[in-house]
Structure 1
Amino acid sequence: VGVVGIGGLGHLAIQYASALGAEVYAFSHSPNKRDQCLELGASHFIDTSNQEDVDSVKRTLNYLFITSNSQSNQYNEYISWMDFEGQIVLLAIPKGQMSFKAGEFIQTEVAITGSLIGGVNVLKKTLEFSAEHQILPTIERFPMEKVNEALEHVDSGKARYRVVLENPQSSNL
């Protein structure tokens, strides 16, 4: 199982796939995420800015979860990572219009699908599974009065991996 985009959703995807017993490949252009990805349960970290790393996963993956809004021109590379009959699952909207070589799909029978959100039952099962396997988000807390600072932190890409705004306790509760 591969995970592209090691952010708010991707860091959870690593934990879920690992808890399900998968061999997990974490893909990021940020080599400084290597240690945390391995701590979260990834079996392998692939630095996408290192062509040797990227070449090492050709025709390896059965599933690839795209959790970031990747550039549309990256999808031919993603397809090349997939084993025969692999499945790419989009969990984020790509930047720009997607284009790829149809021959890759015909030769490998790779499928691309998307997923937006599950219903109440899926959410309940996910929370139960998370509790059972101690899957927790990594968050950074900001007081509500620092909302602008928190937004800048997120926009600059410095957030690891979710930002939570906290309201002070109300004396009327």
Structure 2
Amino acid sequence: MIFFAETQTAGVPEIITSLFPNLPNFIAHVIATIVLVVILSKLMYKPFRKTIKDRRNKINELLSEAVQKQTEANIGVRKAEALLQDAKTESSLIIQTSKVDADIQKTHIISEAHKYADIIKNQAEKDIAQERSKIEAEIKTTIVNVAFDAAEQILQTEINKTKNKKIVDEFIENLDK
């Protein structure tokens, strides 16, 4: 059987011969194409489809992981924001408590200082009163002694107005020395 010869085949209409000038050649090409398609589909198409399917699965897996990680990140952000808010609340509470404690301590310190100042003032007043009493007693004693000394000198001498005055003046001068 010769496939490439240009011969007229009996019983084949002319239109087919005009469309397909060499029918055996055409059939050989169709069979070769079918064989080639079958071989390529077995060797190339199925592995190609498998690769595409694997790639699609990998992409879907990566997308689902990304969605899951994004969800976890959002949860982490919400937790961090909640912790931050709790920390702010706690710090403001600590500051407020510290201010109240400081005010109480300030009031206590001022009160203690006033008490201590009053004690010192009262002690100073007592000391001043004692010193004053002591000095007044000394002055009285001195005045009495001076009066006795003056009286003694007056009595020792003759009672005379001019002499009396002279003795008192001398006595006063002796006091200044």
Task: Report TM bin, short chain.
Answer: under 0.3
The structure in which a higher percent of residues are strand is 1
What is the TM-score normalised by the length of structure 2? 0.13
What is the TM-score normalised by the length of structure 1? 0.13
